[in-house]
A and B are shown apart, each in its own frame.
Chain A
Amino acid sequence: MKDSRVGHLIDLFERALEVPQLRRTEFLEQLGDDDASLRDELTSLLRAHESATDYFDNLAEAAVSPAYAAVMGAARARPMLAEVQAALGNTYRILQELGGGMSRVFLAEDTKLDRKVVIKVLPPEMAAGASAECFRREIQLVAQLQHPHIVPLLTSASAGSFLYYTMPFVAGESLGARLARDGPLPIRDARAIWRDVLDALAHAHASGVVHRDIKPGNILLAARHALITDFGIAWAMGAAAGDAAETAQGLTSGTPAYMAPEQVSADGRTDHRVDIYSAGLVMYEMLEGRLPFACDSARHLILARLTRTPLSITRPDCPPELAALVMRCLARVPAARPRTVDALLADLEAIPTMREPAATAGSARSRHPRRARQRLEIDRFDHSVIRQRG
């Protein structure tokens, strides 16, 4: 009985909305007094309808969104900061929070050595039990890496219920921050940054470490160099997250937008070539100012790499050999990518450095006038920007 009543109400509501506003009263009056309560209900619904759209837009913004942010942890627990500090004791003094992804990232002072370090703290549940052991093993492997373009690990330890590791503080900004500010980079800068990144990757791969989360936010620009940070952390975090089988299949956490197709589809076989793909995406973004998939939503962006051919590089001042090389890195099938980072580096270095575009009419400068004005040379980074992640 109830259902048919509501059905009737919905029907009347929808019919009433088709009636011009001025004639609604008339419409309501025509309903007669047989069912006064139904008419009253309809009246109140129509009144509520007037403000419903605004109300719900506002609700999404004022209540649902903050709750989501709180659950997602974008708003961070102040008590936790105190607890982290308490757990760290006197060795480190936390200066400020730097943001971060899966872990919390702090800028701290190493009180004994009087230097600044970055501390990344893993959530307590990841620091528990066997997963902590996994994490430590992975971290040990990563700690072996010594390379001028890799931000080294200083220490890794547990304190209280937390697991943390420290890295030297690198003054500079992330490539992500630079891209967000400047858009596409001058070819020369992009090449220099890519070279540093590939150089670091070649070293890591030779040591048996795959990064798995190469993205602009993990590439720091300092002085004249680019440095990769968070090496192997995605992998170690995956190991710490528990499911060993899952980790072995390569289902580790990464950043969806920069993940290789085989990471996204989790087809069970991932190797060092995921880094080649992600490095290719990063270079593409440095050249074009966006990712090679035209997508209106995050979901499509993630799926597009499985289904679509990446858009080609259209920038006229990009040497065609360089464009071709980047596109090879973006091959959906790992076997179609450069076999190793070493091979990729060799190909990159074989491409002539300087080649001015024949015509200036279609150059990057005229395509991106605002950005071109803002562009900075690689050795003039803004050192006042303190940011570890983009």
Chain B
Amino acid sequence: MTSPHATITDLLRAVEQGDRGAFDALFPLVYDELRLLAHRQRGTWRGDLTLDTTALVHEAYLKVVDQQRLPAESRAHFFAVAAKAMRHILCNYARDRSRKKRGGGVPDLRLEPGRDPAAQLELSDEQADTLAALDESLQALERVAERQARVVECRFFGGMGIEDTAAVLGVSPRTVKRDWTFARAWLRREMEVKLDWLDGGNSRSPTV
């Protein structure tokens, strides 16, 4: 079995040379790696989202990528992919929860082989709905303003600061700040509509 590490390094190189397909191919690899790491790190959560996400992503990077072989730009690409992977890990988890709830019946909390047992609980329905709505809203934003959506991904799910996000996206910190402001306003509005609708479907009186 070849180690996935060599592949990730090679793919990052390909991205470096402008291969857009390599970026997409990277995603599942980084995703798996992060999941594995998150799993191994169970219990080291300190309750600081930014710090924890950053530590996780960087640990993944250190473990996975042969630093000597890669230029600094590849780091940026790795972090971009990792931010996206984190988003999917969290949002898929939330959607899973939402779906189970809407499917009716009691959530299935038995252990399933190959599933992270700890990842099967303790998110309220409201939290799960909110995350699912955030993800959907982000998808909508991606369609109209891709870079702004990337900024949210990096900052929110990749735990990156303004400077790091700027480096990853290849824009100025000033642009990141502006994108961040616009994206939040846009998402805020979008989510208000979505969550209202969810809420209305369940509990709102028809007169409202």
Which residues on A are within 8 Å of B, measured CB to CB? 2-3, 6, 10, 13-14, 17, 44-49, 51-53, 55-56, 59-80, 83, 99-102, 104, 123-125, 161, 237, 241, 243, 245-246, 251, 253, 255-256, 264-266, 297-299, 302-303
12 A-B pairs with C-beta separation under 8 A: A3-B144, A6-B144, A47-B189, A49-B184, A56-B188, A62-B130, A64-B157, A75-B122, A76-B121, A77-B121, A124-B111, A125-B114
Do A71 and B38 contact each other (CB < 8 Å), given the known contacts A63-B134, A99-B43, A123-B117? Answer: yes
Do A64 and B131 contact each other (CB < 8 Å), given the known contacts A14-B178, A99-B43? Answer: yes
- Closest approach, in angstroms, between the C-beta of A311 and any C-beta of chain B? 21
Contact status B49-A70, CB under 8 Å: no
In the bound complex, CA of A246 to CA of B79 (Å): 23
In the bound complex, CA of A237 to CA of B93 (Å): 26
Contact status B185-A297, CB under 8 Å: no
Contact status A72-B41, CB under 8 Å: yes
Q: Which of B22-30, B59-67, B199-207 contacts A (4 or more CB under 8 A)?
A: B59-67
Do A101 and B45 contact each other (CB < 8 Å), given the known contacts A10-B145, A64-B156? Answer: no
Contact status B113-A124, CB under 8 Å: yes
Q: Which of B13-21, B50-58, B165-173 contacts A (4 or more CB under 8 A)?
A: B50-58
In the bound complex, CA of A5 to CA of B108 (Å): 45
Name A70's contact: one of B91, B123, B181 (CB within 8 Å).
B123
Contact status A2-B144, CB under 8 Å: yes
Name A66's contact: one of B42, B43, B127 (CB within 8 Å).
B127
Q: Mark B126-162, 1 if CB is under 8 A from A, else 0.
A: 0110110010000000001100100000001100000
- Closest approach, in angstroms, between the C-beta of A52 and any C-beta of chain B? 4
In the bound complex, CA of A348 to CA of B79 (Å): 43
In the bound complex, CA of A60 to CA of B131 (Å): 10
- Closest approach, in angstroms, between the C-beta of A55 and any C-beta of chain B? 5
Which residues on B sit within 8 Å (CB–CB) of A13?
182, 185
Contact status B47-A69, CB under 8 Å: yes
In the bound complex, CA of A104 to CA of B157 (Å): 26
Contact status A74-B185, CB under 8 Å: no
Which residues on A sit within 8 Å (CB–CB) of B58?
298-299, 302-303
Do A266 and B116 contact each other (CB < 8 Å), given the known contacts A49-B181, A72-B41, A253-B40? Answer: no
In the bound complex, CA of A282 to CA of B155 (Å): 33
B198 within 8 A of A: no
Which residues on A sit within 8 Å (CB–CB) of B178?
14
Q: Which of B100-125 touch A at CB < 8 Å?
A: 109-111, 113-114, 116-124
Contact status B188-A49, CB under 8 Å: yes
Which residues on A sit within 8 Å (CB–CB) of B91?
67
Which residues on B sit within 8 Å (CB–CB) of A66?
122-124, 127
B99 within 8 A of A: no
Q: Which of B63-112 touch A at CB < 8 Å?
A: 63, 67, 89-91, 93-94, 109-111
- Closest approach, in angstroms, between the C-beta of B90 and any C-beta of chain A? 5
Contact status B185-A48, CB under 8 Å: yes
Which residues on B are within 8 Å of A, measured CB to CB? 3, 38-45, 47, 49, 51-56, 58-59, 62-63, 67, 89-91, 93-94, 109-111, 113-114, 116-124, 127-128, 130-131, 134, 144-145, 148, 156-157, 178, 181-182, 184-189, 192
Q: Which residue of B lies closest to A58 (CB)?
A: B130
Do A102 and B156 contact each other (CB < 8 Å), given the known contacts A51-B188, A124-B113? Answer: no
Which 10 A-B pairs give the minimum distances between C-beta atoms? A73-B118, A74-B45, A73-B42, A75-B122, A298-B55, A48-B189, A49-B185, A52-B184, A48-B188, A299-B58
Q: Which residue of B lies closest to A237 (CB)?
A: B40
Do A265 and B62 contact each other (CB < 8 Å), given the known contacts A60-B156, A77-B117, A298-B51? Answer: yes
- Closest approach, in angstroms, between the C-beta of B149 and any C-beta of chain A? 12
User: Given A265-B62, A266-B63, A298-B54, 8 other A-B contacts at CB below 8 A?
Assistant: A47-B189, A49-B184, A59-B130, A67-B93, A68-B45, A100-B43, A123-B42, A124-B111
Q: Which residue of A lies closest to B129 (CB)?
A: A63
Q: Which residue of B lies closest to A71 (CB)?
A: B119
Q: Which residue of A lies closest to B112 (CB)?
A: A124
In the bound complex, CA of A77 to CA of B123 (Å): 11
Q: Which residue of B lies closest to A47 (CB)?
A: B189
Name B118's contact: one of A51, A76, A99, A246 (CB within 8 Å).
A76
In the bound complex, CA of A67 to CA of B117 (Å): 14
In the bound complex, CA of A67 to CA of B63 (Å): 24
Which residues on B sit within 8 Å (CB–CB) of A56?
156, 184, 187-188
Q: Which residue of B lies closest to A301 (CB)?
A: B55
- Closest approach, in angstroms, between the C-beta of B30 and any C-beta of chain A? 15
B56, B62, B123, B127, most chain A CB atoms within 10 A: B62
In the bound complex, CA of A79 to CA of B108 (Å): 10
In the bound complex, CA of A250 to CA of B114 (Å): 25
Which residues on A sit within 8 Å (CB–CB) of B130?
59, 62-63
In the bound complex, CA of A367 to CA of B118 (Å): 43
- Closest approach, in angstroms, between the C-beta of B80 and any C-beta of chain A? 15
In the bound complex, CA of A71 to CA of B121 (Å): 9
Which residues on B sit within 8 Å (CB–CB) of A55?
184, 188
Which residues on A sit within 8 Å (CB–CB) of B117?
73, 77, 80, 123-124
Which residues on B sit within 8 Å (CB–CB) of A67?
90-91, 93-94, 123, 127-128, 131
Q: Which residue of B lies closest to A255 (CB)?
A: B44
Which residues on A sit within 8 Å (CB–CB) of B113?
124-125, 161
- Closest approach, in angstroms, between the C-beta of A25 and any C-beta of chain B? 17
- Closest approach, in angstroms, between the C-beta of B119 and any C-beta of chain A? 5
